[in-house]
Amino acid sequence: MKSKNTYRLSGNIVDLRANSIFKGTVHVENGVIAKIVKQQVVEDQYILPGLIDSHIHIESSMLIPSEFAKLAVVHGTVATVSDPHEIANVLGIDGIKYMISNGKKVPFKFYFGASACVPATPFETSGFQFHENEMEELLGMDEIKYLSEMMNFPGVINSDPWEMKKIEIAKNYNKPVDGHAPGVSGDDAKKYAEAGVITDHECFTMNEALDKISFGMKIQIREGSAAKNFDALIDLMKDHDDKVLFCSDDKHPNDLVKGHINELVVRAIKRGYEPLKVLRSVILNPIDHYGLEVGTLQENDPADMIVINNLDEFSILQTYVNGELVAENGSSYIDSIPEDQPNNFHATPITIDSLVVEPKGSKLRVIEAFDGQLITGFLSESFKVDNNNVVSDMDKDILKLVVLNRYEKADPAIAFIKNFNIKNGAIASSVAHDSHNIVAVGTSDEAIAKAINLVIKEEGGISMVNDKEGKVIPLPVAGLMSTCDGYRVANSYQILDDAVHKMGSKLRAPYMTLSFMALLVIPELKLSDKGLFDGIKFNFTSLFMK
């Protein structure tokens, strides 16, 4: 890592506050911008503030914060607004404090929230449960910048006392409240906003986003490894750029190696949107909304900045955090650091017999997965039976889906899903939003059991099994993250991802999609460790139909 010193950078200086670009020199002293001098210089590069991801779960990168930072700075990211919701559901406040502590060990600006939904719902087994004391402790911490996504939007809309109490505590500490209300519009969106929720990253149609903006909310345009809403929402920039932020939400390590928020900047500019307008939404909007201590290339600001070749190609030449050169020409200067590996994993190996499903009706309720979306559909399908066991039907692409409690010994919950298109084998993961039990899908009970047991053996990880081999990436930190070098983890993940595509899956991110099949707060049909769940009625439903 390059050490701090006194230096100058010259080129085209992008002043987002003044909405201008001018030739000049930036003088940095001890990590702070001492002065900016307008002058003619020969350098033709552009100097501008660093990029910000306005909503992300670091855990979904499968990397601890320090390793996430190593990859992200290469793409010009200097800060994230991070909801530690995943590790909080496994390890509680200790998990959030772990993320804060590790993030402070590297030159990168992580801003964490107080996880609002631990557990996310009462319909699944989680590792922890927050009460009023925990919310007071978290929101009272200086490191906690906001109350993270209020996923129980029905509770907020209907003024549930506990949901309203969380919002009240956040308001008492003068901290903003993030939303999570997919598909909510009209009067319900109005009630949600009036309760104090002022952002949402779950919009998937323009009308929904415009509705929420009309009620005073800001929209985080999301483009992650699984959920991709950029194309549907980017035209908000025409008239509502002051209400727009950019985020990834969930980013798998192989995708993070390729790019981050910089990719969205390029896409927006190529759509014809004025570069300074795009950059204000990406940089100033999250800084001002959340009150982040991130420099905006003004005198006396911390020197959080990037150097690029030009505003069209947007190639990142250098990234600085607090004046420290942390990345240059595609190479990161952030070093790996040794870390503890806290966990909460008590599942025991399963047998094939535990996956038997006896037929009890004429039709199955089948989950319909959609590529690039967290929402799912509901299908009524006939089913295949073998020896009084309902089994995967590859001809119809209806595969057995399993969720197993990872916190205590329990029987697996079983459902069926369409659109994974795996033809031979199974995949499993202990990254299963939001409670992070083990989720698996496959073509046979044998393959599913093998994939799950590989994850159990490592006390967390992602795995794949086919007729030739079985592989697993261990995730020893809460069953969610690795402490290994981020590029090494990304390479290992890419190998598994490629293998699953060779097994037939047409999904762009099969593991990410799988991880959301236990996400009960996103309609329509999902599976928890306790059973099949109807996200519209917000209650359990039966697997079989008469």
For the four alpha carbons of 363, 357, 420 and 394, in that order, the dihedral sign comes to negative
Measured distance between the N- and C-terminal CA atoms of the chain, rounded to whole angstroms: 64
Cis before residue 119, ω within 30 degrees of 0? Answer: yes
Residue 197 burial (CB count, 10 A): 30
Q: Which residues contact 194 (CB under 8 A, 6 or more apart)?
A: 215
Domains of the chain and any CATH numbers? 50-292 (3.20.20.140), 352-545 (no CATH)
123 to each of 93, 326, 490, how far by Cα in Å? 21, 44, 33
Q: pLDDT tens per residue, the chain (546 residues)?
A: 455 679 999 999 999 999 999 999 999 999 999 999 999 999 999 999 999 999 999 999 999 999 999 999 999 999 999 999 999 999 999 999 999 999 999 999 999 999 998 998 889 999 999 999 999 999 999 999 999 999 889 899 999 999 999 999 999 999 999 999 989 999 999 999 999 999 999 998 999 999 999 999 999 999 987 778 999 999 999 999 999 999 999 899 999 999 999 999 999 999 999 999 999 999 999 999 999 999 999 999 999 999 999 999 999 999 999 999 999 999 999 999 999 999 999 999 999 999 999 999 999 999 999 997 888 999 999 999 999 999 999 999 999 999 999 999 999 999 999 999 999 999 999 999 989 999 999 999 999 999 999 999 999 999 999 999 999 999 999 999 999 999 999 999 999 999 999 999 999 989 989 999 999 988 899 999 999 999 988 899 999 997
Instruction: Give pLDDT, residue 225.
Output: 74
How many angstroms separate the CA atoms of 264 and 222, rounded? 9
Structural contact between residues 4 and 279, judged by C-beta atoms closer than 8 angstroms: no
Could you give the angle at the alpha carbon of 477 between the alpha carbons of 516 and 63, nearest 5°?
70
